[in-house]
Chain A
Amino acid sequence: MKASFARIRTHPWIIWYAVLLHTLWACLLLAGQKTYGATALHVYSPVPRTLMAGALLTASALAAWAITCRHPSWQTLAALLPQQAILTASAYAAIAAVVMAHYGDGVIRPRLFILADQAPAILAFAMHTAAVVEIHARKTTADILRATLTAMDTEADRLSPPGPSSR
């Protein structure tokens, strides 16, 4: 029996971090237009503020639902993807700002300065993707139990005495 019960339990803190971050961004967007000046949010500036705030809150609610579900499934995976899409676009904007050596609102700074400043957006995207994959790729308890049952049956069949022989 190769599957082990003593697996490290995944704590998807990064997903909760993204939920809180996007909820905060939504609140700030509802509070004022100036929030769009932030590099990570500037990519969404053509989208109306209320619509963007609604999208951020919806993505957060879906992600919170997904990680509180007991069993990972294609539904929980799909529910995490809007959050991942938002993080991807933010990370892309951060990388673009580093490459072009100026922030989303046009402020010019050295590349390393912007990289140091925008690193959390890039790392959050990478860690979020890793967490989504880890949650949905790991073996569930049901998988392990099913494998145990199959292994027991196979081993019992192998060890069972042969039927009445012709001797």
Chain B
Amino acid sequence: MDLGVDVNAAYVILPGLGVPALTFTALWFWRLRHQPHAAGQLTETEMAARIAARQEELRQEREVRDEHLAGLIARLLQNAGDARSELHAIGSAVERAIRR
């Protein structure tokens, strides 16, 4: 092959084929082989819908948990109030008994 600059054809063919082959091989092993196949793969819309549904599910779970915890706290406060009233009553009864 006459290249005009006395370059052997092999020196042109080698990088001409080698660089694209190297690019393909490197990208294949780095990124493309990890890509799932189109069949059986969720579309972007389906994935976005699934994320939204999961988010809503988690929000509802959190609301139920918050309500449950609020109920527990209210019951504990009620118990504490009752305990204080009973303590006062006992204290008064003890005082009366001492005075007699």
Contact = CB atoms under 8 A, between A and B. Distances in A.
Give the interface size bracket for B toward A.
35 or more
A93 B7 CA distance: 9
A16 interface: no
Given A74-B32, A97-B5, A146 B17 contact: no
B44 A141 contact: yes
Contacts of B26: 133
Contact of A46 (B1, B27, B43, B61): B1
A62 to B, nearest CB: 12
A144 to B, nearest CB: 9
Contact of A84 (B11, B19, B54, B58): B19
Contact of A152 (B11, B31, B54): B54
Interface string A32-56: 0000000100110110000000000
Interface stretch (B45-53, B73-81, B85-93): B45-53
A158 to B, nearest CB: 12
Given A43-B3, A136-B31, A156 B58 contact: yes
In terms of DSSP, what is the predominant structure of the interface of chain B?
Answer: helix
A119 interface: no
B2 A88 contact: no
A81 interface: yes
A89 B16 contact: yes
In terms of DSSP, what is the predominant structure of the interface of chain A?
Answer: helix
A43 B32 contact: no
Interface residues of A, number: 43
A153 B47 CA distance: 13
Given A96-B7, A132-B23, A149-B54, 19 more contacts: A42-B3, A42-B4, A46-B2, A77-B32, A81-B20, A81-B23, A85-B20, A86-B16, A92-B11, A92-B12, A92-B15, A92-B16, A93-B7, A93-B12, A100-B6, A100-B7, A133-B23, A145-B48, A156-B58
30 contacts: A45-B2, A46-B2, A74-B28, A77-B27, A85-B20, A86-B16, A88-B15, A88-B20, A89-B12, A89-B16, A96-B3, A96-B5, A100-B5, A100-B7, A102-B4, A103-B5, A106-B4, A129-B23, A133-B27, A136-B31, A136-B32, A145-B48, A146-B42, A146-B47, A149-B47, A149-B51, A152-B54, A153-B54, A156-B54, A161-B65
